[in-house]
Amino acid sequence: MRGHQRTGRSPPGRGADPFNRLPRCGGERCFKLDSMPERPIADVLAGTVAVESRVRVKGWVRTRRDSKAGFSFLQVSDGSCFAALQVVADKALPNYSTEVLHAGPGCSVSVSGTLVDSPGRGQRVELRAEELIVLGRVEQPDTYPISPKRHSFEFLREVAHLRPRTNTFGAVARVRHCLALAVHEFFDQNGYLWIHTPIITASDTEGAGELFRVSTLDLSRLPMTAGGEPDYSRDFFGREAFLTVSGQLNVEAYCQALSRVYTFGPTFRAENSNTSRHLAEFWMIEPEMAFADLSANADLAEALLKHLFRAVLERRPDDMEFFDKRIHRGAVARLQAVVDKPFERLTYTDAVRILQRSGRRFEFEVSWGADLHSEHERFLTERHVKGPVVVTNYPKGIKPFYMRVDDGGETVAAMDVLAPGIGEIIGGSQREERLEVLDRRMAECGIEPQPYGWYRDLRRYGTVPHAGFGLGFERTISYVTGMANVRDVIPFPRTPGNADY
RNA sequence: UCCUCAGUAGCUCAAUGGUAGAGCAUCCGGCUGUUAACCGGAGGGUUGUAGGUUCGAGUCCUACCUGAGGAGCCA
C-alpha cells in the first residue's frame, strides 16, 4: 500500500506537527514557548520517539494508580491509537499533592518528560513526567458517566457525546476512518471517480414512500391549493423535495459519461424500523460501472470487500485485536478467511432449492417467487456457506423497476451479498438499459414516468449495459468489528424517536 | 408498526405482598513499580410516569413512556 505515512510523523518542533497547531487552552502555562517536541501517543508507542529523549503528550487520563512509595501511574490516552501511554509522576513534582493526586479518569492533561524503558510489565516504554499540567478537571467524579468499569452499550448510547472516550468507541472511530479511506483508495486505484450526488432530491429511487421531507413552508400556516392539498409550488424548490434515499439514479447519469463512478455519503430513510441493522441516517457506498454485466458487478463487490477487510487487518491491528478479544471472538480469523477465499455465488433459484432440501423447518415457507426472509438468508450464509455469499437473479416481481430483465423474462439481474451475522450487506443489479423494457417495467410497477424523464433520457441517448450496487457502510463496520448493533458504529445514531446530540 | 422481555444507587443487578441490598465506580484511610490492583471505611434511593387493588405494593392490575431482542422494510 502506498502513501500511508501519518502526517503526525513529520519532524518535531517545527509547527509541522498537526497537534502543535491545535488551539491551546486551559491557562497561561499552556502558552509557554519551549523546544519540547509534542507528539501523538501513537508515535511515542510506535518507537518513533527515541528512548531517553524528551517529549510532550496531551490527552485524557484513563486511570490513575498511586503508590505510597511516592509516585503515581497515569494511563493517558489521546485517541491516536488503542493503547494508552503510562505516565509516571513522582511526588517531587511541585503540584503532586495538589493536582496530580486528584487527576482522575476523564481529566485532560499535558505531560512533558523523558521517555524511558519501563521496568514494569505491560508496556515497553513509559513517560517519566517532569511537568504535569491538569488542563481540565472532572467535576463531580462520582457521577462522571465514563467511570473505569464495564458499561452496557445501551447506557453509552445515552451519553453519545462521552462514549468516544471508551476503548470500544475509540476503536470503532479509528476503524471507521480506516475503512472510509480504504473505500476511496480502492476506487481511486481502479479508475473510479467520486461523484458528489445531491442530498436533496425530488425523486424517490424505489418508488417507496419512506422519505424525509425538506421544506421551508410554515407548518402552522400551510399554503393550500384549490384542491385542499399543500401548495408545494410555494415551497423553496417550487416543488416537493426530500432527503435522498439513494444516489444511484444520479450516479447512473455520470456513469453514462465517465464509465466508472461511485458515491459515498449519507442517506436517509424515514422508515419506522427498530432493529440492530437499520438507521434513519446512514452512509452508503454506491459504485456504478458502464459496459458491465451482473457478473462484473459481483466481481467488483467481492474485490471491494476484500480490499476493505485487508486494509483494516493491516492498518489497525491494535483495534482489531481488541475486537477479537473483547467484542467478538474470532473476528480477525473471520475477516482473514473472507480475504483468502473466493465468494460463493448462487442463483436465487438454486438458493430456493438448497433451502427446500435443507430439511429445516422455517417459520416462513420457501417457495419460488417469494422473497427470502432473514431466517433464510441467515441459513444460507451462516450454515450452508459459512461465509459471504452472492445470491443472484431474483424473480422480477420482488425487485424494483430499474433492474435488468433476464432472458426468459421471469427474473432480473439482481444480486445481494449476504454476510454472517448481518444478513444483506450489499444490494445491487445490472440496470435495465433498454428503453422499451424499462418503460414496460415502470408501468408494471405502477411508477409515473413523468418524474423519470431525465432517467429515461439516459436510455435514449447512447445507452450501454451498466451495473452497480449499494454497500451499507455501517453494516460493513459492524461485520468487521463484530459490534452487534449499527447504532454503535456511527458516532451519533439517528433512529425513530431519537435525534439527541 | 407487530410480538416478547426489561425499567430499583453514577453503572450492572438482587430483594415469598411485610424494615430497599450487593458488586463495580466515587470519596477518605492503609498497602504496593502499579497496570481488571489489593484491604478497610463512608456517602449515595420519590424503585420509569399516572392511576387502581390491599391493613400494607419494588413486587399484583390498567394505561402511558423509555430501552433491548426478534419480525417486517431494507443498506
Which nucleotide across the nucleic acid strands is nearest to A86, CA versus C1'? Answer: B35
Strand B closer than 7 A to residue A485 Cβ: yes
Find the Å distance, CA of residue A101 to C1' of nucleotide B26. Answer: 14
Strand B closer than 7 A to residue A281 Cβ: no
Find the Å distance, CA of residue A102 to C1' of nucleotide B23. Answer: 25
Q: Is the pLDDT of residue A423 over 70?
A: yes
| Chain A residues 169-208, Cβ below 7 A from strand B | 206, 208
Which nucleotide across the nucleic acid strands is nearest to A62, CA versus C1'? Answer: B35
Q: Is the pLDDT of residue A185 over 90?
A: yes
Residue pair A164/A92 in contact (Cβ under 8 Å)? The answer is no
Which nucleotide across the nucleic acid strands is nearest to A141, CA versus C1'? Answer: B26
Find the Å distance, CA of residue A275 to C1' of nucleotide B69. Answer: 9
Q: Is the pLDDT of residue A32 over 60?
A: no
Q: Is the pLDDT of residue A416 over 70?
A: yes
Find the Å distance, CA of residue A147 to C1' of nucleotide B12. Answer: 13
Report the pLDDT averaged over residues A149-153: 89
Residue A462 φ/ψ region, left for φ over 0, alpha for ψ in the -120 to 50 degree band, beta for the rest:
left
Strand B closer than 7 A to residue A487 Cβ: yes
Q: Above pLDDT 70, what percent of chain A?
A: 92
Which nucleotide across the nucleic acid strands is nearest to A497, CA versus C1'? Answer: B66
Q: Is the pLDDT of residue A24 over 90?
A: no
The per-residue pLDDT for A11 is 35
* Positions of E strands within A237-317: 242-243, 260-268, 281-290
pLDDT in tens, A40-77: 999 999 999 999 999 999 999 999 998 878 889 999 99
Say how far apart CA A338 and CA A313 lie, in whole Å: 12
Q: Is A79 exposed, middle or buried (0-12, 13-18, 19+ CB in 10 A)?
A: middle
Find the Å distance, CA of residue A152 to C1' of nucleotide B17. Answer: 32
Question: Going by C-beta distance under 8 Å and a sequence separation of 6 or more, which residues neighbour residue A27?
Answer: A133, A135
Q: Is A461 exposed, middle or buried (0-12, 13-18, 19+ CB in 10 A)?
A: exposed
pLDDT in tens, A268-327: 999 999 999 999 999 999 999 999 999 999 999 999 999 999 999 999 999 999 999 999
Q: How confident is the model at residue A204 (pLDDT cuts 50, 70, 90)?
A: low
Residues A368-374: contacts with CB within 8 Å, 24+ apart?
A368/A395, A369/A395, A369/A397, A369/A398, A370/A398, A371/A398, A372/A348, A374/A423
Strand B closer than 7 A to residue A155 Cβ: yes
Report the pLDDT averaged over residues A161-178: 95
Stated pTM of the model: 0.90
Q: Is the pLDDT of residue A4 over 60?
A: no
Which nucleotide across the nucleic acid strands is nearest to A147, CA versus C1'? Answer: B25
Q: Which of these ranges, A12-26, A128-142, A464-478, has the smallest mean pLDDT?
A: A12-26
Q: Report, in angstroms and rounded to the nearest whole number, the Rg of chain A calculated over CA atoms.
A: 27
Report the pLDDT averaged over residues A174-198: 98
The per-residue pLDDT for A346 is 95
Q: How confident is the model at residue A479 (pLDDT cuts 50, 70, 90)?
A: very high
Q: Write down the ipTM of this complex.
A: 0.91
* Positions of E strands within A195-348: 200-201, 242-243, 260-268, 281-290, 344-347
The per-residue pLDDT for A437 is 96
Question: Going by C-beta distance under 8 Å and a sequence separation of 6 or more, which residues neighbour residue A145?
Answer: A151, A155, A159, A162
Strand B closer than 7 A to residue A98 Cβ: no
Which nucleotide across the nucleic acid strands is nearest to A210, CA versus C1'? Answer: B73
Q: What is the mean pLDDT of chain A?
A: 89
The per-residue pLDDT for A205 is 53
- Pairing mode, strands A281-290 and A344-347: unpaired
The interaxial angle of helices A473-481 and A331-340, nearest 10 deg, is 120
Strand B bases, protein C-beta under 7 A: 1-2, 10-13, 23-28, 30-37, 43, 66-75
The per-residue pLDDT for A210 is 83
- Nearest CA to A428 among A306, A307, A284? A284
Say how far apart CA A197 and CA A33 lie, in whole Å: 46
Find the Å distance, CA of residue A149 to C1' of nucleotide B18. Answer: 36
Q: How confident is the model at residue A84 (pLDDT cuts 50, 70, 90)?
A: very high
The per-residue pLDDT for A18 is 37
Instruction: Return the residue matching grid coordinates 505491560.
Output: A122
Which nucleotide across the nucleic acid strands is nearest to A90, CA versus C1'? Answer: B33
Find the Å distance, CA of residue A164 to C1' of nucleotide B27. Answer: 26
Which nucleotide across the nucleic acid strands is nearest to A123, CA versus C1'? Answer: B35
Q: Is the pLDDT of residue A329 over 70?
A: yes
Find the Å distance, CA of residue A152 to C1' of nucleotide B34. Answer: 27
Report the pLDDT averaged over residues A372-379: 92
Report the pLDDT averaged over residues A101-120: 92
| Chain A residues 20-39, Cβ below 7 A from strand B | none
Report the pLDDT averaged over residues A87-92: 92
Grid cell digits, residue A158 = 445515552
Which nucleotide across the nucleic acid strands is nearest to A498, CA versus C1'? Answer: B66
